[in-house]
Amino acid sequence: MIGKTVLITGSNGLLAYDLIRVFSFFSGEKNYNFIRSNHADFDIVNEKAVKKFVDFHKPDIIINTAALVKVDECELNPGKAFETNAIGALNVAKAAKDIGALNVYIGTNYVFDGGKKSYSEDDAPNPVNIYGASKLAGEALTKIAGGDYYIIRTSWLYGIHRKDSVFVSQVLESAKKGEAIKVVDNQFGTPTYTLDLARKIKELVDKKAPSGVYHITNSGFCSWYGFAEKILELRGARAELVAIKLKERCLISKKPANSILINGNIKKIGIEELRPWNEALKDYIKEAYGD
Ligand SMILES: NC(=O)c1ccc[n+]([C@@H]2O[C@H](COP(=O)([O-])OP(=O)(O)OC[C@H]3O[C@@H](n4cnc5c(N)ncnc54)[C@H](OP(=O)(O)O)[C@@H]3O)[C@@H](O)[C@H]2O)c1
């Protein structure tokens, strides 16, 4: 095989779909081969199974997207959340270290408590829910494993894969049915297009960036209300938006009110920030809805 080999875990997931597109030979990429692995290939919680798969394929880079990402599900199943997001991360990191591969762990803005308006890589995490705590533990264990690593924290992902499950399509579907849409107007973050994120991850890998924590999101920020307004505007759709407060949406788990990530560390190594979230959304809507 020519080029470096990238193993992508959680390959049936939202972000993995665009990582595969970006690292694919078929998209013109000649410097990388990729191997996908999903839950059926191995469970990241099973240390031996992870090691066996990794030792067999000997990738140069592992991008670990496998995770339990549903915040309320994590709150209700803390054991499973920590097993997947923390122990699973450790298993992948150790297997990567053993063969000298770079390990890329995908982290989250939910490691922060939302008390500040925005967060740099130097701010101290303080998660307010089990999901955030389990992902923070995953970060710590990724570092403890001792190999080369990137911890990439991102936020509010949407993408083409399983597009019906993301917020964009939920808004458009409700609009189509003429239903009023309840959206939170006091939680702020940055919607991030998985294709933009995947390209930036590749840039980091191409550049052989040093090990460390990197915040990568589209730029700018909005509330869920603002996000919904922009989705409707770009699609030329109309719907009644009903503003609700975050606490009305926090029946099972708490969520940080602000979790805007300052993308400082990529800039320090000469990588440009991602484009504004509304420009990315415009392209996404064109790609997903065909006009
Ligand atoms: N989505 C967001 O808004 C968001 C925001 C910030 C950060 N992130 C982070 O970004 C990463 C990717 O998120 P995503 O939205 O692409 O997730 P996703 O679509 O839910 O994909 C995650 C994948 O992980 C697999 N998986 C779960 N448990 C596993 C296990 N024990 N062993 C092997 N595979 C397992 C799942 O497969 P099965 O379905 O077959 O179990 C699924 O295909 C995650 O680390 C997440 O924490 C996401």
- Taking the chain (291 residues) in runs of 10, the rounded mean pLDDT of each run is 88 95 76 92 97 97 98 97 98 98 98 97 98 98 97 96 82 93 96 97 96 98 97 94 92 94 98 98 91 59
Cα-trace Rg, the chain: 19
Look up residue 37 and give its two tokens.
């692995």
| Residue ranges per structural domain of the chain | 4-163+190-220+260-275
Q: Is 208 helix (H, G, I), strand (E, B) or coil?
A: coil
Instruction: Report the phi/psi class of residue 29: left, alpha or beta, with left for phi > 0 and alpha for psi in -120 to 50.
Output: beta
Task: Name every residue whose Cβ is closer than 8 Å to that of residue 17 and which is 6 or more positions away in sequence.
Answer: 159, 160, 161, 194
Q: Which residue among 14, 119, 136 has the greatest number of ligand 1 atoms within 8 angstroms of its CB, and so is best to mutate?
A: 14
Contacts 24+ apart (CB under 8 A), 173-178: 174/239, 175/232, 175/235, 175/237, 175/238, 175/239, 176/237, 178/239
Total-model pTM: 0.97
What is the spatial distance between Cα 154 and Cα 171, in angstroms, rounded to a whole number?
Answer: 22
What pLDDT shows up at residue 249?
85
The architecture that CATH gives domain 4-163+190-220+260-275 is 3-Layer(aba) Sandwich (3.40)
Q: Is 7 helix (H, G, I), strand (E, B) or coil?
A: strand
Residue 69 alpha carbon to ligand 1 centre in Å: 6
Count of other CB atoms within 10 angstroms of residue 274: 23
Measured in residues, the chain has a length of 291
Nearest CA to ligand 1 atom 14: 14
C-alpha distances out from residue 231 to 166, 178, 281, 289, Å: 12, 15, 8, 12
What pLDDT shows up at residue 132?
98
What pLDDT shows up at residue 166?
80
State the closest ligand 1 atom to the C-alpha of 70, by its place in the atom list counted from 1: 20
Q: Which residue among 9, 44, 134, 157 has the greatest number of ligand 1 atoms within 8 angstroms of its CB, and so is best to mutate?
A: 157
Ligand 1 lined by 69 (C-beta under 6 Å):
yes
Task: Name every residue whose Cβ is closer than 8 Å to that of residue 153 and which is 6 or more positions away in sequence.
Answer: 107, 108, 109, 111, 121, 213, 214, 215, 216, 261
